[in-house]
Amino acid sequence: MTIISKKIQTGSYESYIHEGGSNNPETIIFLHGSGPGASAQANWKHILPQMSNNFHVVAPDILGFADTDHPVEYPKNGAQWMTQRVNQVLNLMDSLKIEKAHLVGNSLGGVIALHLAMYAPERFERIVLMGAGGGLTQPTPELSKLANFHNDPNPIAFKNLLRWFLYDDTGKEELLEKIVAERLEVFEREDVRKSYVENFTKSQLSDMLVPPSALKRMKNPFLLIHGHQDRLVPLESSLYVLDYLEDAELHVFKKCGHWAMIEQEEQFVKLICEFFSRTAV
């Protein structure tokens, strides 16, 4: 199925999105993770064509990343960044006339998905969180390196950083080289780099933590997917969320790091297709 890329109005600015399967009745919104040069294309380019056969799929570049318009006036802290990103998704849905949608969120995207379920639960149905940071209270050394990458953005450091996303990069040298080149090209843009610095120097993990009181009140069915060897966002983050969500299940991949959609692509697609195809009881 063909995926179309375009800009749409989301409030006072335009968001860059990838869209496919628009004739299908159910919509899934895919929210990518963070990191230097992150984008919807980098996260979901192998997943969207497969999912668009049966679902209307939409994947935006989250505010502050890639080809979505960058802020003229930057949020003052992580809480304001989160609010603006929540509003971006809701405005996107209004622009595309999507009344309700499913969500898939990776890492930062998973945190945004949880905040969307907290602030506008009536707009969302089933939610998949993959390597999500909603329960992360302390940064790992790998995550700290990611957050401070802008201090010395060189290709060797970036390749090392991306290696840490994977459990095992054996046989993936060519793939890593390609991802490094593509994402560094995006990150070297002045608007992208400035947004990255503004975001990571003014945000705290506490800005993203979702309180147990909020998690307990979420009625959506959740599927949590986590790599057992995830060093960016450890499995403990999903276990924290699982403790409080009312309707949730957890799938853990052994021999998998932060990118289940790459290291376990076939099984990842099967899992989410089955989850989104269930009939509500």
Whole-number Å distance between alpha carbons of 224 and 132: 8
Greatest Cα pair distance, the chain, in angstroms, is 52
Closest residue by Cα to residue 38 from 200, 171, 266, 269: 200
Active site residue 258: yes
Q: Find all residues with CB under 8 Å of 153, minimum gap 6, and list them.
A: 36, 184, 187, 188, 193
Closest residue by Cα to residue 237 from 116, 124, 44, 107: 107
Q: Find all residues with CB under 8 Å of 220, minimum gap 6, and list them.
A: 117, 121, 124, 125, 126, 127, 247
Closest residue by Cα to residue 259 from 45, 54, 18: 45
Q: How far is CA 128 from each of CA 16, 124, 125, 202, 220, rounded to the nearest angstrom? A: 22, 11, 10, 28, 10
Separation of first and last alpha carbons in the chain: 31
Of 70, 102, 251, 258, the active-site residue reads 258
The answer to whether 29 and 96 are in contact (CB under 8 A) is no
Residue with token string 């506008």: 120
Closest residue by Cα to residue 134 from 212, 75, 39, 72: 212
Residue 47's identity, in one-letter code, is: I
| Residues classed as catalytic | 258
